[in-house]
Amino acid sequence: MLVRLHTTQPVSLSHVAVTLEVNISKGIRLHLLGNTHSSLRESKQRVYTVLKRNKWHWPGQRTTLNFLPLDFQKIGGHYDLPMALGILCASQQLPVHRLGQYIILGQLGLDGSISPSQDMYNALVLAKQTNKKGVVTNFSRATYHHLRRLFPEMELCQVSTLYEATAFFANGTLPSIIPPLAVNSEDKTLIKGSCFSDVSGQQPLKKALEIAAAGGHHLMMIGPPGVGKTMLASRLGSILPPINPFQTHPIRAMFSSNEEHECIAALSGIRRVELIDRNLTKRELFGSMSNEHIKAWLMEEDDHRKSEYPTGQLSKKVGVFYRSSGGVLFLDEFSSYPIKVVDQLLQQMDHHLVQVILAMNPCPCGNFNHPQKACRCSASALNNYRKKLTAACKDRLDMTIYTQYELWTDELQEASSEIKSRVKKAWKSQMERQGRQNAQLSTAALEGVCRMKKSSWRYFHQECAGQKLSIRAQQSLLALSRTLADLKGDKSVNNSHIKSALGLRLNDRSSMSPLEEARETNSEQRIKVNLGGGIELNA
């Protein structure tokens, strides 16, 4: 008797449908066909042992298992359960009327238990695309209820043993629904980070991070060691809005097979914050998969539903940059990165799939413009250090913030929850208006959503011409101005928003030579830039 059932092959960043044909005829032995990996020979032995231990009859005839399609290799222990059920149905020990309606997968233990399956988000996406009723497997308890919420129309058939799986296909009965896991406060802290109120002072830098979070802007923080750059970056997760709707599917698909806390965060729409405190190589940062393929897939330009990627790509790693998709990548000590890595990073920053926040010292010794310590760097050293922040890099940075040491203050610090409420309000207005954050918009789209008067456009173009801003910098300035307006609840961008955005972009003292800067190290003079809302930034 010939039966057909459906399973999947995890490949790259998705799942591909696999049809398993099982036929029992005259002859002997069990034969595996269809471009199968050697691991399926182990599956054959497990299935035989489990069926015999559970008092099922092993057909003493020629049993042929054919995996379709043939153009990619089938690998993995998740074929155990479909192989066992296929043999039982083909030998007429189980009815077949439900068999073709579900995607089946699961790895068997010799006692008949089914190991919890990973990457179930992608399996459910495939089941929905192929018009199946649902998925039969042992779901992870941590992700089961998140998946039920995301796929309310699908049947998540939870089976933890072969006995439960056979009972379902025989009479449709399933064990009781898995109770949800309680999420304690420690789990929330691990996902969202600590509170901004833990850091005393640094109000301008906190305000800049709020603006960056609201609009998805790239940010450079420049300041001496120990000033609080990394501390505040590590708390950025506590004020970030949810993942943008158009990015939710690729991000959930990417993290579906990761560790439970990463998978839950992606399924819940929580943005990822990747903190890097050491120099990464180009391979560590971008991985070994094609940047163009990943970028197109993350931007929903690649038809991943129909693509069949080679199984060999499973062993390849997605770099830190793309693992931060939809979230934030923080790179400390940016000035020490090799030029080849920086060039690749700048190319990817244009797409705003990842929000990049950089940090560096003001000079090699870190004491430049320090109120108490003298800078030990020569003018040539300062000049060489400044050259590391190239014009191409400045062009892609929406904000550049200089910060200094601040004395401890007993003033009540604003909590992350208060900042997040403003960020989320601004984010919601962007999602309702354009479906993505301001930093992700094209120049043409920004011109439409800024709703500026002629006088404001005139002021904008005059400032851009006076500052000799490139086309990319003008686009960044428009996006930043729109975010400042959103945070204030203004429907249109005006001159004050543009002026504040200019201050945030051009806060780099670029008109001063290193020798002139060195002479002003002990001076009380400070450049003040208005961030909007009465906040001034000491540069």
In the chain, the amino acid numbered 412 is L
**Strands of the sheet with 399-402, listed across from one edge:** 273-276, 328-331, 355-360, 219-222, 399-402
pLDDT for res 516: 37
Would you say residue 31 has pLDDT above 90? yes
Least confident span in 35-39, 110-114, 401-405, 484-488: 401-405
Domains and their CATH numbers in the chain: 2-171 (3.30.230.10), 189-538 (3.40.50.300)
Q: pLDDT digits over 41-91, tens only?
A: 999 999 999 999 999 999 989 999 999 999 999 999 999 999 999 999 999
In the chain, the amino acid numbered 56 is W
pLDDT for res 228: 87
| pTM (predicted TM-score) | 0.83
Q: pLDDT digits over 168-193, tens only?
A: 999 998 887 776 665 543 344 334 45
Q: pLDDT digits over 344-353, tens only?
A: 999 999 989 9
Contacts of 131 (CB under 8 A, 6+ apart): none
pLDDT for res 227: 87
pLDDT for res 260: 85
Q: Which long-range contacts (CB under 8 A, 24 or more apart) does 450-454 make?
A: 450/478, 450/481, 450/482, 450/485, 450/492, 450/493, 451/491, 451/492, 451/493, 452/492, 452/493, 452/494, 453/492, 453/494
Q: pLDDT digits over 352-361, tens only?
A: 999 999 999 9
Q: What is the pLDDT averaged over residues 190-208?
A: 80
Name which of 204, 132, 170 is nearest 56 in CA terms: 170
CB-CB contact of 274 with 327 (8 Å): yes
Would you say residue 317 has pLDDT above 90? no
pLDDT grade for 298, boundaries at 50, 70 and 90: low
pLDDT grade for 534, boundaries at 50, 70 and 90: very low
